[in-house]
Amino acid sequence: MGIKDRLKTGIQKNLNQKYIKRLLGIIAKKPILYTYGSTFSSVSDKYLNIFTIESLRKAYSDNYRPVGYGSLFLPYEMIHALGITPFLPEVMAGFTAGLGLAAQTIKQASLNWYSQDLCTFHRSASGAQELEVFPKPDFILTTNLACDAAQKSFYIYSKKYDIEKNFYLIDVPYRYSQESLFYLTAQIKNIYMDISSKSGRKPDISKLSEAIELSNEFREWAIKVNRLRETLTDYPPYFNALNYILPFHGLAGTREAVTLYKYMYIELKKYLAKQLNKNHDKKNLPKKILWLHLKPYYRSEVFDILNKENCIVAFEEINYVYWPRLDPSKPFESLAIKMLSHFLGGKIDNRVNMILKLAGEYNIDGVILFAHWGCRQSNGGARIIKDSLNKLGIPTLVLDGDCVDRNNSSQGQVKTRMQGFLEILNSKT
Amino acid sequence: MTYNNDKNINDISVFFKNILSSENNRPAVGLFCTYAPEELIFAAGFVPSRVMGRKKLARSESYFPINFCPYIKSSWESLLSADGSLKAAVFTNSCDGMRRLYDTANIYLKNTPSYLLDVPRLQGESSINFFKGNLNDMKIFMGDLAGRKITDGEIEKTAAVINKKRKTLKKFSRIFKELPHLILISTYFKVMELSMTSDPLIFTDELEKYIEFIEKTSRDHKIIPGKDNKKIPSIMIIGNFITENKLWDMLSALNLKLAADDLCTSTRYFEKQIEINSGQDILYSMAQRYLTKPPCMRMADLGLKLKEIENNITENNIEGVIFISLKFCDTVLYSFPLLKQKLNQLKIPVLYLEMEYNNFSEGQLKTRIQAFLEML
């Protein structure tokens, strides 16, 4: 049994905070961590895993307080500048799927009256939180950007730990206007000042500006990676960019995010050079898929089927750099601009326009929208997205499934639907 | 129960003749949420009318996923089948589902202009000011629709009209709760539905007369409000946009008193007045009212909602809570784990129900509600 399987089995048998803390204390020690890291096929994957484990170790440790729960789409630049160790329950829900824990956590959520109609990312995270698997938070930050679920489940966490006064919702307006910018900037600034004061620190704007500089640096590398990907006709077997949630979220504004994308760029550039030296049969080049929403985080055949049918995920909407360069001299306003620029905010047109742009830039042959159970904001727009792509003659598959709960997703049905879709795609010349 | 030989007190067709008459059909603007300001629509000369979504699903299923708010899907069915019959449709960003309904209407509804009002989730001063600006934006949209500029004076007048409607509804609600043997639960919600779909001037006038009739009947039959010798459990219903007539009929026939509620179709709709005084910007007053009215679970501070529910339970001597949510309503469903904890602390039993829209399975629900009432 390899190191990864041993870790998995260990956590499955001992799903409690104490065990996880002890485990992280052991594997986060540098020699072990780097040995573990070396089991990954690429440098970027290695660092993604190392940074994730380090970040978790800090969140579970008593030496890196305060700890702040954060939802996706928050301006993490601010959280790092405040010296808060971030902990992302939604990302952890993905881990519960990968580690085979979701059945336990989702069951616990049901026992605590979370309806099974709700998103399994949030149900699994809530179940884990009810099982007290997560570290105790000092602050809880969330936003209404993209979806309703986080703001509600995160409020419940604040109640559990009796820290409602340290619960912050960043209320992102629907429209991007001067008034919206003013309203949002003031909120971000107030939160920054309030948390600084509660942490007994003077608000340090220069730290925030530094985080924004790093965020800009990451942005440049991400754009470079994305440009490079436009020319790639296939990918190294280890590469799955749907795993890279953290650099765009929990690691935003850190050196780690920059490092990751820098390595990714170097690796993909080398791969591209090899690819250019090969004589490709242009007729047999893989079909290019644009992937919308997230993927199943448990073992699923989805990507094997793509591979088998000579298709690649050429790009994923989650990796699209949607925001402009930020101005470090106006940090609060910059973060507000970043949030207001998100394609999941406001009208569906913002998302559709981004998808159509990506379809053109990456010469997309087909689009798969993974319709994760309970994700109203994404699935509610599926018909519009499909119709918009059909107008351009791009086939679209709305693939019903569940990113977290394998029992809520019929593998047979997924397989049949994917094969049918890929047949259509491959029949097109 | 008929207390008067001339008129059945629970036959609202007798008391709301003008509203129910097709002669009073003025152009209407459709609404979908209690945060949509009727004042601005009425000021533009249109009737603010809540879209009830009474249509059975047919075409709507192909626009939205299976696990999507059934009210939204039914509303979309109504909009699709009567495209052009409304002057416009005004949406709010109340939830993810509603945002997508707006997008769908905006793209596929060719003959009905649609507008989305951005409603903040926070309730502080800066949110009120921000919302004031959004109301001004909607005022411009309504003005364009009417083909003229809407003045603040006009809005003040319509705010007074809607305030009066709310005040009268509140009085009706109080009387209904004090006279549970006189007014049926089904009658109460039929009146509420009319209030949301009718010309506010005509409706309020008829409601006032209906209240007078109820008061007279109560006096004639020496029924003392609030004094009820029969021991029946006081129930509170908490939920969202529950409009199922069969449910209300069923509850009317059961041994319970609806002593309090937290629903989009009742208190969340009519509680809290707009402060109208010449010194204050009317849009600011409106923003203040809407953001501080009894909140929907969509708002950030769920703690405030729980406190409000606790107060309601104490003030109305509630013995049991029936929680009814439409399926797939994230904001309401997420409130339940905390609500359950709170009710456990208060030692108040709660019955949890999820239901479809326009698709009511009476037998099963009746058994569960009866068993719950027996337990009380």
Say how far apart CA A294 and CA A404 lie, in whole Å.
10
Asked if B353 is an interface residue toward chain A (Cβ–Cβ < 8 A), one would say no
Q: What is the mean pLDDT of residues A315-337?
A: 98
- pLDDT of B177 > 70? The answer is yes
pLDDT in tens, A117-163: 999 999 999 999 999 999 999 999 999 999 999 999 999 999 999 99
Asked if B336 is an interface residue toward chain A (Cβ–Cβ < 8 A), one would say yes
| Residues constituting chain B | 376
Supply A126's token pair.
Answer: 């809530």
The pLDDT score that the predictor gives to residue B223 is 80
The pLDDT score that the predictor gives to residue B181 is 85
CA distance A342 to chain B (A): 15
The pLDDT score that the predictor gives to residue A178 is 98
For residues B97 and A277, which has the higher predicted lDDT (pLDDT)?
B97
In chain B, pLDDT over 70 holds for what percent of residues?
Answer: 97
Of the pLDDT bands very low, low, confident and very high (cuts 50, 70, 90), residue B279 is: confident
User: B300 and A151 in contact (C-beta within 8 Å)?
Assistant: yes
Supply A111's token pair.
Answer: 């026992």
User: B209 and B172 in contact (C-beta within 8 Å)?
Assistant: no
Asked if B272 is an interface residue toward chain A (Cβ–Cβ < 8 A), one would say no
User: B9 and B2 in contact (C-beta within 8 Å)?
Assistant: yes
Supply A248's token pair.
Answer: 């765009």
The pLDDT score that the predictor gives to residue A410 is 87
CB contact under 8 A, A179 and B133: yes
Nearest CA in chain B to A181: B130
- Distance set, CA B119 to CA A94, A307, B291, B298 (Å): 31, 45, 8, 10
User: A423 and A417 in contact (C-beta within 8 Å)?
Assistant: no
Asked if B239 is an interface residue toward chain A (Cβ–Cβ < 8 A), one would say no
| Mean model confidence pLDDT for chain B | 94
Asked if B118 is an interface residue toward chain A (Cβ–Cβ < 8 A), one would say yes
The pLDDT score that the predictor gives to residue A293 is 98
Name beta bridge partners: B262: B238
Of the pLDDT bands very low, low, confident and very high (cuts 50, 70, 90), residue A421 is: very high
Cβ under 8 Å to A: B residues 148-207: none
Residue A292 main-chain phi, psi, to 5 deg: -110, 145
Of A156, A347, A374, the CB nearest to B103: A347
Q: What is the mean pLDDT of residues A275-282?
A: 76
CB contact under 8 A, B107 and A384: yes
Q: Where are the alpha helices (DSSP H) in chain B?
A: 12-15, 17-20, 38-43, 70-81, 96-108, 125-146, 152-178, 185-197, 200-220, 245-252, 267-270, 282-292, 302-315, 330-346, 362-375
Of the pLDDT bands very low, low, confident and very high (cuts 50, 70, 90), residue A38 is: confident
CA distance A249 to chain B (A): 21
Asked if A377 is an interface residue toward chain B (Cβ–Cβ < 8 A), one would say yes
The pLDDT score that the predictor gives to residue B209 is 97
Residue A291 main-chain phi, psi, to 5 deg: -100, 125
For residues B1 and B150, which has the higher predicted lDDT (pLDDT)?
B150
Of the pLDDT bands very low, low, confident and very high (cuts 50, 70, 90), residue A115 is: very high
- pLDDT of B2 > 90? The answer is no
Instruction: Return the closest-CA partner of residue A101 out of A125, A137, A136, A72.
Output: A125
pLDDT in tens, A244-273: 999 999 999 999 999 999 999 999 999 999
Lowest mean pLDDT among A112-116, B19-23, B235-239: B19-23
Q: How many domains does chain B have?
A: 1
Of A147, A155, A174, the CB nearest to B118: A174
Structural domain boundaries enclosing B104: 25-153
Of the pLDDT bands very low, low, confident and very high (cuts 50, 70, 90), residue B26 is: confident
Q: What is the mean pLDDT of residues B266-288?
A: 94
Question: Chain B residues with CB inside 8 Å of A149's CB?
Answer: 330, 334
In chain A, pLDDT over 70 holds for what percent of residues?
Answer: 99
Say how far apart CA A398 and CA A409 lie, in whole Å.
14
CA distance B185 to chain A (A): 28
Helix axis angle for B282-292 and B125-146, nearest 10°, is 120
Of the pLDDT bands very low, low, confident and very high (cuts 50, 70, 90), residue A218 is: very high
Instruction: Return the closest-CA partner of residue A375 out of A130, A122, A156, A169.
Output: A122
Question: Chain B residues with CB inside 8 Å of A152's CB?
Answer: 297, 302, 330-331, 334-335
The pLDDT score that the predictor gives to residue B5 is 53
Question: Chain A residues with CB inside 8 Å of B138's CB?
Answer: none
For residues A3 and A320, which has the higher predicted lDDT (pLDDT)?
A320
Residue B128 belongs to some domain of the structure: yes
The pLDDT score that the predictor gives to residue A393 is 96
CB contact under 8 A, B65 and A155: no
Helix axis angle for B330-346 and A149-160, nearest 10°, is 20
Residue B137 main-chain phi, psi, to 5 deg: -60, -40
| Residues constituting chain A | 429
Asked if B103 is an interface residue toward chain A (Cβ–Cβ < 8 A), one would say yes
User: A386 and A371 in contact (C-beta within 8 Å)?
Assistant: no
Interface test with A, best of B33, B93, B103 (most A CBs within 10 A): B103
The pLDDT score that the predictor gives to residue A429 is 63
Question: Chain A residues with CB inside 8 Å of B93's CB?
Answer: 174
- pLDDT of B266 > 90? The answer is yes
Lowest mean pLDDT among A14-18, B109-113, B182-186, B225-229: B225-229
Asked if B304 is an interface residue toward chain A (Cβ–Cβ < 8 A), one would say no
Residue B170 belongs to some domain of the structure: no
CB contact under 8 A, B337 and A112: yes
The pLDDT score that the predictor gives to residue B58 is 92
- pLDDT of A381 > 70? The answer is yes
Instruction: Return the closest-CA partner of residue A382 out of B290, B35, B64.
Output: B64
Question: How many Cβ atoms sit within 10 Å of the Cβ of residue B366?
Answer: 16
- Return all residues near A235 (Cβ < 8 A) that are at least 6 apart: A271, A312, A313
Q: What is the mean pLDDT of residues B247-262?
A: 95
For residues A43 and B155, which has the higher predicted lDDT (pLDDT)?
B155
Of the pLDDT bands very low, low, confident and very high (cuts 50, 70, 90), residue B226 is: low
| CA-angle at B356, arms to B353 and B362, nearest 5° | 70
| CA-angle at B335, arms to B333 and B339, nearest 5° | 120
Asked if A257 is an interface residue toward chain B (Cβ–Cβ < 8 A), one would say no
User: B122 and B298 in contact (C-beta within 8 Å)?
Assistant: no
CB contact under 8 A, B330 and A380: no
Name beta bridge partners: A313: A289
Residue B78 belongs to some domain of the structure: yes
Instruction: Return the closest-CA partner of residue B357 out of B315, B327, B337, B332.
Output: B327
**ipTM, 2 dp:** 0.96
Instruction: Return the closest-CA partner of residue B359 out of B72, B120, B54, B153.
Output: B54
| Mean model confidence pLDDT for chain A | 94
Of the pLDDT bands very low, low, confident and very high (cuts 50, 70, 90), residue B231 is: confident
CA distance B66 to chain A (A): 10
DSSP string, A181-226: HHHHHHHHHHHHHHHHHHTT----HHHHHHHHHHHHHHHHHHHHHH
Of the pLDDT bands very low, low, confident and very high (cuts 50, 70, 90), residue B227 is: low
- pLDDT of A313 > 90? The answer is yes
Phi/psi-derived region of residue B173, left when phi > 0, alpha when psi is between -120 and 50, beta in every other case: alpha
User: A362 and A231 in contact (C-beta within 8 Å)?
Assistant: no
Residue B58 belongs to some domain of the structure: yes
Of B102, B118, B303, the CB nearest to A173: B118
Question: Chain B residues with CB inside 8 Å of A379's CB?
Answer: 64-65, 67-68
- pLDDT of B278 > 80? The answer is no
Residue B197 main-chain phi, psi, to 5 deg: -125, 5
Say how far apart CA B333 and CA B360 lie, in whole Å.
19
The pLDDT score that the predictor gives to residue B23 is 67
In chain A, pLDDT over 90 holds for what percent of residues?
Answer: 85
Lowest mean pLDDT among A298-302, B97-101, B356-360: B356-360
Q: Is the peptide bond before A31 cis (omega within 30 degrees of 0)?
A: no
In chain B, pLDDT over 90 holds for what percent of residues?
Answer: 87
Question: Chain B residues with CB inside 8 Å of A159's CB?
Answer: 302-303, 338, 341
Say how far apart CA B198 and CA B200 lie, in whole Å.
6
- Distance set, CA A101 to CA A197, A361, A388, B127, B294 (Å): 38, 38, 38, 41, 39
- Distance set, CA B39 to CA B152, B263, B292 (Å): 11, 21, 17
Asked if A357 is an interface residue toward chain B (Cβ–Cβ < 8 A), one would say no
User: A242 and A313 in contact (C-beta within 8 Å)?
Assistant: yes
Residue B272 belongs to some domain of the structure: no
Asked if A147 is an interface residue toward chain B (Cβ–Cβ < 8 A), one would say yes
Supply B18's token pair.
Answer: 């003008």
| DSSP structural state of residue B248 | H
Nearest CA in chain B to A158: B303
Supply B116's token pair.
Answer: 């989305």
Q: What is the pTM of this model?
A: 0.96
Residue B56 belongs to some domain of the structure: yes
Of A164, A179, A371, the CB nearest to B130: A179
- Distance set, CA A107 to CA A19, A35, A96, A126, B347 (Å): 20, 35, 12, 10, 25
Look at residue B324 and give its three-state secondary structure. Answer: strand
The pLDDT score that the predictor gives to residue A1 is 66
Say how far apart CA A134 and CA A245 lie, in whole Å.
19
- Distance set, CA A146 to CA A69, A143, A150, A340, B246 (Å): 17, 8, 9, 11, 36
| DSSP structural state of residue A373 | T
- Distance set, CA B50 to CA A339, B30, B39, B243 (Å): 33, 6, 13, 12
The pLDDT score that the predictor gives to residue B221 is 86
CATH number for B63: 3.40.50.11890
| DSSP structural state of residue A325 | P
Residue B33 belongs to some domain of the structure: yes
Residue B183 belongs to some domain of the structure: no
Q: What is the mean pLDDT of residues A376-401?
A: 97
The pLDDT score that the predictor gives to residue B267 is 97
